[in-house]
Amino acid sequence: MIKKIVFGIVFIIICLLAFASNADDNVISLEQTGDTFQLGVDQYGFNNNIEMLDTNSYITASSLDMYLVQINTTSGGLPNNITFDEVSGTGNQMKLAQGAAWTTLDSDTDLTWWVDNYESGGHDIDITLYGDYNKLAVQQTNQTGALDGHSFDLHLAGDYNEVQIKQQSNGAKNIDLTIYNDYNDVFIRQKGNGATHNANITLDGLYGTDLILKQMSGTNQTYTLSVDCMTVGGCSTSVTQE
């Protein structure tokens, strides 16, 4: 049965959910100010952490919804980390999942998820988010109990962006994404067993930008992309490596 923990208006949330020894504790430690803030958390297994980056980090929100899921089936293995470096704004939504897959990634209302019970941790998410009505949905999963989790970093500053990230299968995938302003729409998927996929992407500009990046299969693939969209009517970029 899926258990949901929802917090309304909170100022400091410190919650320890221990399912193993102290070294494998599941930890939630967040600081938040603002209105109509909702947070749902599911953490199962071992060594799952949801924390602020440091004492200078904060979450300030008027209507920010989050639902976070982390699964780690290996005691004494690598941790799953979701780290919030700042975060502020209005009307933002996040889903986020590590060691679990959303049934419908692009749905704002479907919060069901599933696991294959072969998740050994090692996933990392570091977020800096400012402003406006952005949407973010991320899931990172391994298979067959691999210990090398995926890494994802986001710097998002402004306007009504929508970002969806998937990183699946064994092998480190790694994504660095920076979006500065306006109505970008980004979808990135990196999938393939036993291979390192890498993507460093910077989006900026005065107009809308559509980006779809897929890196697939079991071969190592790297990509660095910078899009500065100044074209009236928007830009569209699609990259596929298979």
Report DSSP state, residue 180. Answer: -
Q: CB atoms < 10 A from the CB of 105, how many?
A: 18
Max intra-chain CA distance, the chain: 57
Q: What is the pLDDT of residue 12?
A: 30
- pTM reported for the whole predicted model: 0.83
Q: Are 165 and 152 in contact (CB under 8 A)?
A: yes
* Burial class (CB within 10 angstroms; exposed 0-12, middle 13-18, buried 19+) of 108: exposed
- What the block records as the tokens of 120 is 């050994």
pLDDT (average), residues 187-203 = 90
Range 35-44 burial, b when 16+ CB lie within 10 A, else e: eebbbbbbbb
Radius of gyration of the chain (CA): 17
Q: Answer yes or no: are the C-beta atoms of 69 and 98 closer than 8 Å.
A: yes
Helix (H, G, I), strand (E, B) or coil at 24: helix
Could you read off the pLDDT of 28-81 as tens digits, one per residue?
988 777 778 788 999 999 999 999 888 888 888 777 888 999 999 888 878 999
Which among 99, 95, 58, 55 has a CA at the least distance from the CA of 81?
A: 99
Task: List the single range of 59-68, 89-98, 169-178, 218-227 with lowest mean pLDDT.
Answer: 59-68
Phi and psi of 57, rounded to 5°?
-85, 155
> Could you give the 3-state DSSP secondary structure of residue 23?
helix
Band (pLDDT 50/70/90 cuts) for residue 22 is low
Of 205, 127, 118, whose CA–CA distance to 168 is shortest?
A: 118
pLDDT, tens digit (0-9, with 9 covering 90-100), for 151-185:
999 998 888 889 999 999 888 889 999 988 788 88
